Amino acid sequence: MRPAKKIELAARTPSLRRMKTTLAASCVLLLAGAALAIDISPNRRTVPEKFINPPGKRFSLFSGDPERIQRANEVNLEDFKAECSLEPAALSLSNPTDSQGNSTTGVKVTLRIQNISKKKRYPLSFPDAQRYDIALLGPGDELLYLWSDDKMFTQESDAIFVNSGEVISYSDLVPNAALAKAGPGTYKIMMVLSNYPELKDVKELVVKP
């Protein structure tokens, strides 16, 4: 009788292994789905949350590999400097031109991110193809225009590595149509690096009749 019991237990072992494998795979899929979820419906009346606070658990491309997770979490954002510039810094709605007098379809906003550390090389992770966002803010920081509102991004995660002293930069336009809708006045333009709301800068824009 004892040998028969051993055979029965051996027969059950593959089934138990399959159950454990299935459970582990389900957990991985759930974690991956949570990591890729982002808010794509910003509040039109206020500055989007992604411009202000970092996500509770910042997306990292290196999920699943403990050593790489630790490496990604060691990004010290104080080792980065963010600065944006406007071209032009003042725009006339009746004659929209840049600082060289050339006709322009909008205000060009450029965000420069520099690794100001002396030795470190940092990875910056992104949950999708979006790398930045731009907001036009009115009185009381009312959100008047959000660059990403009418755009879709490929759902492919990626990462870039920024060496010590290296600068990465992104540029895009706040269109004249958005400025015309806002009307003459003084506004703020904010540009932020996706997944890293700490890396942002704000500049003042003057819109003339």
Architecture of the CATH domain 40-208: Sandwich (2.60)
The arithmetic mean of pLDDT across residues 173-194, rounded, is 98
pLDDT at 82: 98
User: Could you tell me the residue ranges of all domains in the chain?
Assistant: 1-37, 40-208
Check residue 94 and report its DSSP letter: S
If pLDDT is split at 50, 70 and 90, which confidence band does 119 have?
confident
Q: Which residues does 19 contact at the CB level (< 8 Å), separation at least 6? A: none
DSSP SS3 for 121: coil
Q: Which residues does 77 contact at the CB level (< 8 Å), separation at least 6? A: 196, 198, 199
pLDDT at 143: 97
pLDDT at 54: 61
pTM for the structure as a whole = 0.70
Q: Which residues does 33 contact at the CB level (< 8 Å), separation at least 6? A: none
